[in-house]
Structure 1
């Protein structure tokens, strides 16, 4: 479950404003998960401003609670109707400045994490594009058309060029490479020693999508052979065996598929 965690050391800045060195083995103060909620990548808890229960709201609440502790200390000599010291604490300029600086740094961290999230936009086609539409294009033209090609030939169309088996294999092999690439992504990212982003939920979602894309092409081949008329009762089974043998070449064994598509210029 996503969490917002605190540890004893707050590695942000000391009173003088110099950096506080992060100690090895010290758990980051805060943590958020990066998840895929199609069609968007989202943080949990949210790192967007103004979201109730989000990162900024949580930190602001923690700081307010720290100041609120002074309301539990009775005045030795009550004055102006105040029975505790919270008003005095809120009025200390130095503390107010530290409070403002902390919240500013939280805002900066939110922007930094947002930029990190954007680095994963290169995989957006896996969950934005329609798999059936992509397969239809591939079966017609032997490749996936770019948006520019589709717009340029909206009236006259493109000559059909159905794919051969080696083109299917290249498409499926590309998913293997993508699978390896995503598997190699770092599972966690720590910023400035105090903010941890857990990328594992996103990785799991992307790997699952990659397998679905690959399975779509494999299943089409199997269905094509199964449903093709044959004069020999064992023809379909032999065809399926040949396809599996071609697809399970050394480059394909024991690995899940990869690149969602291979575009031609």
Structure 2
């Protein structure tokens, strides 16, 4: 896969999460089953599933996030190769997984070349896309909008979604990187659960001290990348008890290996929880 195919790879990010999104409706049941605890779960490489549980706890916990009800943040999605950017205000309601994005700049994934501001809203069942307040019938814009709403939500709650039903986890040993010795996990999904013959796969680099995922490799079966080859480096900030990946740097493989500088950089700023959003006012209160 060549770096010059960046635009197509960027769009493919939307589709790589489809198998995870299909399990979204079970989120409420999962959270309700969680017993809140102040004791850190056991972290042992002999039980890879325990590492995923420790990751959830280190991030603040599903139940803590659930109590925060919703989130809003400014999302900057920047292609360093093309020097193009998508900028949106993102809003999610955790109980329904409703997802809203209002784009004031859209040069990569969201209707590039179209003038005006673009709004996408997924109410938990259907997605609507508007340009300057008018519903669009552009089929591609609607398809991309639907997947983006689910994909962006998934990325935000990824530390919890990795431990969804059907997860297959294998411990791969340790590797030193930038002065830290990481525990490596391979994570993929049971095709009998997802209903897909090719499922996303990850190689997670877990810091055994912080229990956070500082780096991971992932696949893109949709684009013919069946092995986890794309690198994501995450940097975190504590926002009201949740460890949020506020900077995400992505490195694309090429014939010459990986570039020193990331091909894509995503930043999350102005993060706020419990804003009083409902499905009914998610869009109306944004303008």
- When Rg is computed on C-alpha atoms for both structures, the one with the higher figure is 1
TM-score relative to the length of structure 1: 0.23
Q: What TM-score do the two structures reach when normalised by structure 2?
A: 0.22
